[in-house]
Copies of this chain bind each other. A is one copy, B any other.
Amino acid sequence: MGFASDNGSGVPAAVLDALARANDGAVPGYGDDALSARVTDRLRAVFEAPQAEVRLVPTGSAANALALAVLTPPWGAVWCHRLAHVEVDECGAPEFFTGGAKLSLLDGAHARIDPETLDRALSRAPRSVHQVQPAALSLTTLTECGTAYSAEHLAALAGVAHRHGLGVHLDGARFANALVATGATPAELSWKAGVDVLCLGGTKNGLMAAEAVILFDPARAAEFDLRRKRGGHLLSKHRYLAAQFDAWLEGDLWLDLAARANRAGARLAQGLGAIDGVELRHPVDGNMLFPRWPAEMAEGLRAGGVRFYGGPDPDAPGHETARLVASWNTTDAEIDAALAICRGH
């Protein structure tokens, strides 16, 4: 029973089939193949953005870092939430790819930033030659706390950013989950809300290792291409990246996978919410849950073979905090078994 991460799951059969189909014949490398072109076309259609440029890379850290690098100079500041993946979980990839830009951190409940907080921070940020220059806003949805931004909330934030001259990056490692959670269209949750560059995550939602960077302003693509190559992220046998996305988009499989994961998250949340002693620290908008629970309950789960990230809460003796993530293939039986263990403590 794995709730450690949605990247612990396998991929649906359709993805394996697509790889097998893509395997035939000698085709041009580096993205100059028909399948890669088709993925671009499909994403343009899905996002109602016929002019957008699409680039595929193997990891989310690469997608984010490359996206930020085209939005900020080395002497720029990228504003983001204190808990953002780009700040906390990428070993400084943004600093590396940008040539040493600074991540300027903002607070906000449940890993969401308030537009007022952003506006005040940007208004007070000095911009003399002695300081790094505010250059980009980096948002995430689902956030690191599992919450979703509404399209309106995103638009308000992007509006503030643009007014202050910043570009807007959206880390969408769980963008599909966010779409399902909000009911917004892909366009509404991206360029219509003011997002300039979207990192559309595939890996956490049923792909092997494939992420799409969507540059809504195609003028940024040439620089991205050189940075991607220079970063070692231009795959020669590019068709296998494309094949994954092609299967994912076919028949809205991506949304179906995300819906399954979100439903599993909801079932788990409902079950945990009814158990005494368990507190869900953040609203559960998608497939991520953040319980605080008695240490012995956590131990019982581990003993029962349930895998998740967690550990002692330094501020609440006898308790642990944890992160549980449901996947597209999490079963009701797995959830119910985990809940049964919790109830037993």
Among candidates B22, B60, B95, B98, residue contacting A101 with C-beta atoms closer than 8 Å:
B95
Q: What's the nearest-Cβ distance from chain B to residue A176, in Å?
A: 16
Give the complex CA separation of A99 and B226 in angstroms: 14
Give the complex CA separation of A252 and B267 in angstroms: 48
For window 85-130 of A, CB contacts with B under 8 Å fall at 88-93, 95-103, 105, 124, 129-130
Q: A26-B327, A62-B232, A129-B226 are in contact. Are A74 and B101 (CB under 8 A)?
A: no
Among candidates B59, B96, B132, residue contacting A91 with C-beta atoms closer than 8 Å:
B132
Q: A10-B24, A230-B74, A307-B26 are in contact. Are A92 and B96 (CB under 8 A)?
A: no
Q: A8-B26, A93-B229 are in contact. Are A131 and B100 (CB under 8 A)?
A: no
A25 at the A/B interface (Cβ < 8 Å)?
yes
Number of copies: 4
Most chain B CB within 10 A, of A22, A98, A99, A231, is at A231
Number of interface residues of A (CB under 8 A): 78
Query: Chain A residues in contact with chain B, CB under 8 A?
Result: 1-2, 4-5, 7-11, 16, 19-20, 22-30, 57-63, 65-66, 73-75, 88-93, 95-103, 105, 124, 129-133, 203-204, 208-209, 223, 225-237, 240-241, 307, 314, 327
